[in-house]
Amino acid sequence: MVYQIRYSPHAVRDLKILPEEVQAWIVTALDILMENPRTHAKRLTELPLFSFRTGGYRVILSIEDNNSVIRILKIGKRDHVYERL
């Protein structure tokens, strides 16, 4: 089953403030999640969310198995992305 990737408005803003080459790198890296997101994303403790690591950046996401959707919630450097989850 192939999942669709959908970006929240917050994630779109996060992505747009990054340099263009980093944006392309992250979007390309997210393609790996479409086949089986749970094998590449790490579950966050005490939250129904996952973290996907790509270099020094983290992507916070939720996985909706019933709709086959990966919802990208937040994108940022690893030292700040976990704030206010």
Domain parsing of the chain, residue ranges: 4-77
Q: Which pTM does this prediction carry?
A: 0.92
Closest CA to 59 of 19, 27, 17, 84: 27
Residue 11 · residue 72 · CB < 8 Å: yes
- The total of other beta-carbon atoms located within 10 Å of residue 65's CB is 11
With cut-offs at 50, 70 and 90, classify the pLDDT of residue 1: confident
- Tell me if 10 sits within 8 A of 71, measured CB to CB: no
- The beta strand positions in 1-85, using DSSP E, are 4-7, 42-43, 50-54, 57-64, 69-77
d(CA 38, CA 23): 22
Q: Confidence class of residue 42 from pLDDT cuts 50, 70 and 90? A: very high
* Mean predicted confidence (pLDDT) in 21-27: 95
CATH of domain 4-77: 3.30.2310.20
